[in-house]
Amino acid sequence: MNRLVVLDLSQNHLESIPVEICELKRLEVLNLNKNDFKEFPGGIIADLERLKRFGIDWIQYSHYKTEVIN
């Protein structure tokens, strides 16, 4: 999975972003559209240095967290 470039997790009723996503160092496209996040850890997204496209529309979340999760 360390060669993964595109990850589409849209419409999966996710309540949180799996921390393992930050290990995908080659990821360029991440689609998280239409999920049910309770918390959104922005630090995970910040760790994805090659990320060019990030889909996050239609997400319903109750709290936005910006701290980095290690």
Residue 70 lies in a domain: no
Q: What is the dihedral of CA 8, 11, 13, 15, to 10 degrees?
A: 50
If one counts the domains in the chain, the total is 1
37 domain residue, yes or no: yes
The pLDDT of residue 15: 84
Task: Assess whether pLDDT exceeds 50 at residue 57.
Answer: yes
| Bridge partners, 46 (sequence order) | none
Instruction: Identify the DSSP state of 46.
Output: H
Whether residue 21 lies inside any domain: the answer is yes
Q: How confident is the model at residue 40 (pLDDT cuts 50, 70, 90)?
A: low
